[in-house]
Amino acid sequence: MGDTRLKKAYDQLEQEILERKRAEEKLRAAKEELETRIAERTFELRSANEQLQVELAERKQAEKEREQFFNFFQISPDIMVIAEPDGAFRKVNPAALELLGYAEAELVSRPFIDFVHPDDKQLTLDEMAQQKRVGSSLNFENRYVCKDGTSRWLSWRANYYANEGTTYATARDITDRKRAEEELAKYREHLEELVKVRTAQSEQSKQQAEAANQAKSLFLANMSHELRTPMNAILGFSGLMRSDPDATPGQRDNLDIISRSGEHLLDLIDKVLEMAKIEAGRMAAESAPCDMGAIIRDVTELMGERAREKGLELSLDEASTFPRFVTADAAKLRQILINLVGNAVKFTQQGHVTLRLSSTPTDDPHLRRLVIEVEDTGVGIAWEDQSRIFEPFVQVGTAGTQKGTGLGLAISRQYTELMDGAISVHSSPGAGSLFRVDLPVQLATESQVLKTQVDTGTVLALQPGQPAYRILIVEDQLDNQLLLRRLLEGVGFRVQAANNGAEGIELFRTWHPHFIWMDRRMPVMDGLEATRRIRALDGGRDVKIVSLTASVFYEQRDEVLAAGTDDLVRKPYHAEEIFDCLAEHLGVRYLREEPVTPLVEDPSMTLGPAVLAPLPTDLRRELQDALIRLDTKRISGAIDLIASQDTALGALLARYAARLDYTAILHALQSDEGAGP
């Protein structure tokens, strides 16, 4: 009984202990939960406090900035405004009032759009609506109407704050800039209009210039054909008559006069046509290796006779030094020399004409500056005329001294400039003149220039054992047709002639010539068209066709060759050109006059006083005088006399003379005299 009570009490005690533990556990859990809540709340309070501190700082900064803004708002030189959500002005600064001319009460609480220029209202509303949708800053320009009715251009920068619903905006007056832009736009439009007008005028001028050039080219082609074609007959027939063995000396003299007069007339014609070619832009320099010494020799031989006829001394300055072999336009260089020396001889009545040459090196070891000077003791040129003498057709001086075409110096200047050179003159009345040409030349070698030249002699007849060559002449000018026919038949060719291209085609079909001389310009059908049609016929590819042309345009060679011709010969031509062309294209062989046997030089012989010592005194003096006077005919005559006595010495002197090394011969002659008894 007692144990039972004790056990019951024990069980009850355990139950109480268990419940107490449970209560303590709940209490501990509640305590932990409370502590957690307290910690969380504390953190929340701390965070809220920190956020509040940040907000307070931001509010203070915002208030500070707003205070600064409003301070700046009042003193800013630019317009500053604040607009309500409905667009009404909340505040405007003094700059806005001053610029627009309104009182503050007239602007505040009124919608800004009321003051925008009518033409700009819709654009401004669209811009503002776009800004509210996007919420970004906005830059735009519009016009505001001032109180006095005028308008001002403003450049705006607006910022919309959605939380406030307000817009803060600044603007700068750009009226002056806009006016300048408008003026510039008007000026640009005016300028564009002027450009259009000028362009139209320029295009019209260009078309007129092109038409003028085409007309000039047509004129040149016509004049070349009309003038050179009859000259071909005049010079050709005079040459045929002079070669007639039955011609008397008097007849030959008369024919020589005809020939010289014809050549002079042809020279005048060529100068006029050459100047027209230059003005038409149809001229270019054509450089090739050439012998400068040979060019000078040709010019001095040509002009020496004219100088002697007037009692003048034409000489090459002994101090002249120049490269003998150069790459240049030899034809133009020769013509420049002929024009300058010819002018000097023409306008000098007494005294001398001196040709002087020198060269200087350049940075390019293969290039030299060649200086040519022609000095005379003539009438001289007035200072006011010196700037005009290189113009076409200008002649200065008195009527008695004005000769020729007045084109020689103009052509010389154009040729010099085409070769990248310059020409000048120094002169005074009564004291003579000095013309100077300075131009670049490339050095060349003797092997590039010199070729074996054998005097083949005049053509007498065809060699036997050759085909009976059939030669067709297609030429509308009967005089030239007859000239060429007699020239060819005279040596044994079989010849037929046609008066135009159509007749030429028919004769080709029926007669089958080996060779056709085809005139370029003819009625009915010209030579180019006839050539094309012949080439299209059976056998047309086999016949040789060479064009005969009186054109002065060397570039027309390409046009002629493109039509199917094999070559081109220009009128007036020499008989040798005709025969050489036939030999080149048909392989024709000729019987010729016996050529002159060239002098053979002794390779061991050198020029010096010793080799000249055996010469007679009068022959030495004749050679020396001829050398000093640059009389090439007398020089050749003296050397021929020496060669008749001593072939090797004659050949040696001829070699020095050929390269114009007259100084060496003179030195040997003068040394020989000094060593004499």
Give the DSSP letter string of 396-456.
-S-GGG--S-S-HHHHHHHHHHHTT-EEEEEE-TTS-EEEEEEEEEEE--HHHH-------
- pLDDT value, residue 397: 52
- d(C-alpha 6, C-alpha 436), whole Å: 157
Count the Cβ atoms, other than its own, within 10 Å of residue 316: 20
Q: Which residue in 481, 455, 450, 456 sits closest to 588, CA to CA? A: 456
SS3 521: coil
Best-predicted range by mean pLDDT (40-49, 77-86, 505-514, 658-667): 505-514
> Quick one: average pLDDT of 400-421?
74
> Quick one: average pLDDT of 547-562?
73
452 — pLDDT class (breaks 50, 70, 90): very low
> Quick one: average pLDDT of 558-585?
87
Instruction: Tell me if 326 sits within 8 A of 442, measured CB to CB.
Output: yes
> Quick one: average pLDDT of 377-384?
86
- d(C-alpha 259, C-alpha 253), whole Å: 10
- pLDDT value, residue 175: 92
* pLDDT higher than 50, residue 657: yes
Q: Checking phi first, is residue 469 left (phi over 0); if not, alpha (psi -120 to 50) or beta?
A: beta
For residues 601, 605, 610, 611, the Cα torsion angle rounded to the nearest 10 degrees is: -10
Best-predicted range by mean pLDDT (601-610, 644-653, 655-664): 644-653
- pLDDT value, residue 425: 92
> Quick one: average pLDDT of 460-478?
92
- d(C-alpha 635, C-alpha 118), whole Å: 103
304 compared with 329, residue with greater pLDDT: 329
- Dihedral pair phi/psi, residue 461, rounded to 5°: -165, 175
> Quick one: average pLDDT of 110-131?
89
555 — pLDDT class (breaks 50, 70, 90): low
471 compared with 408, residue with greater pLDDT: 471
214 — pLDDT class (breaks 50, 70, 90): low
| Chain-centroid distance, C-alpha 113 | 64
Write down the mean pLDDT value for the chain.
81
* Residue 212 tokens, joined: 């003028």
120 — pLDDT class (breaks 50, 70, 90): very high
Edge-to-edge, what's the strand order for the sheet holding 515-519?
494-498, 470-474, 515-519, 544-549, 567-570
677 — pLDDT class (breaks 50, 70, 90): very low
* pLDDT higher than 80, residue 173: yes
**pLDDT tens digit sequence for 123-159:** 988 888 887 777 667 888 999 999 999 999 999 888 8
202 compared with 425, residue with greater pLDDT: 425
- d(C-alpha 466, C-alpha 368), whole Å: 51
Residue 405 vs residues 167, 266, 628: alpha-carbon distances, Å: 89, 12, 33
- pLDDT value, residue 453: 40
Q: Which residues pair with 422 in a beta bridge?
A: 438
- pLDDT value, residue 401: 46
Q: Which residues pair with 384 in a beta bridge?
A: none
* pLDDT higher than 60, residue 217: no
Q: Of 164-178, 237-251, 358-372, 638-652, which range is least confident?
A: 237-251
- pLDDT value, residue 402: 45
Q: Which residue in 403, 422, 390 sits closest to 275, CA to CA? A: 390
- pLDDT value, residue 456: 59
Peptide bond into 572 cis (omega under 30): yes
* Residue 495 tokens, joined: 């010849």
* Residue 341 tokens, joined: 């020396």
452 compared with 405, residue with greater pLDDT: 405
SS3 365: coil
> Above pLDDT 70, what percent of the chain?
82
- pLDDT value, residue 600: 45
400 — pLDDT class (breaks 50, 70, 90): very low
* Residue 483 tokens, joined: 């000239």
529 compared with 385, residue with greater pLDDT: 529
* pLDDT higher than 50, residue 469: yes
- d(C-alpha 669, C-alpha 318), whole Å: 15
**pLDDT tens digit sequence for 334-363:** 889 988 998 899 889 899 999 999 999 999
SS3 524: coil
Give the DSSP letter string of 220-260.
HHHHHHHHHHHHHHHHHHHHHHHT-TT--HHHHHHHHHHHH
Best-predicted range by mean pLDDT (154-158, 400-404, 609-613): 154-158
**pLDDT tens digit sequence for 27-65:** 888 888 888 888 888 888 888 888 888 888 877 876 777
- d(C-alpha 556, C-alpha 277), whole Å: 13
Q: Of 66-75, 124-133, 538-547, 668-677, which range is least confident?
A: 668-677
Stretch (H or E) spanning 328? strand 325-328
* pLDDT higher than 70, residue 671: no
Count the Cβ atoms, other than its own, within 10 Å of residue 119: 10
* pLDDT higher than 90, residue 102: yes
Helices (H), 516-616: 527-535, 556-562, 575-586, 609-612
* Tokens 């010539």 found at: 513
* Residue 36 tokens, joined: 């957690």
**pLDDT tens digit sequence for 262-321:** 665 666 666 666 656 666 555 667 788 888 887 887 788 778 777 888 888 888 887 788
- d(C-alpha 152, C-alpha 204), whole Å: 46
- pLDDT value, residue 371: 95
- pLDDT value, residue 617: 86
Q: Which residue in 504, 513, 495 sits closest to 476, CA to CA? A: 504
Q: Which residue in 376, 256, 404, 375 sits closest to 310, CA to CA? A: 376
* pLDDT higher than 70, residue 260: no
Edge-to-edge, what's the strand order for the sheet holding 89-92?
89-92, 79-83, 166-173, 151-161, 138-145
Q: Checking phi first, is residue 115 left (phi over 0); if not, alpha (psi -120 to 50) or beta?
A: alpha
- d(C-alpha 491, C-alpha 460), whole Å: 6
- pLDDT value, residue 601: 44
Residue 412 vs residues 416, 420, 511: alpha-carbon distances, Å: 6, 12, 49
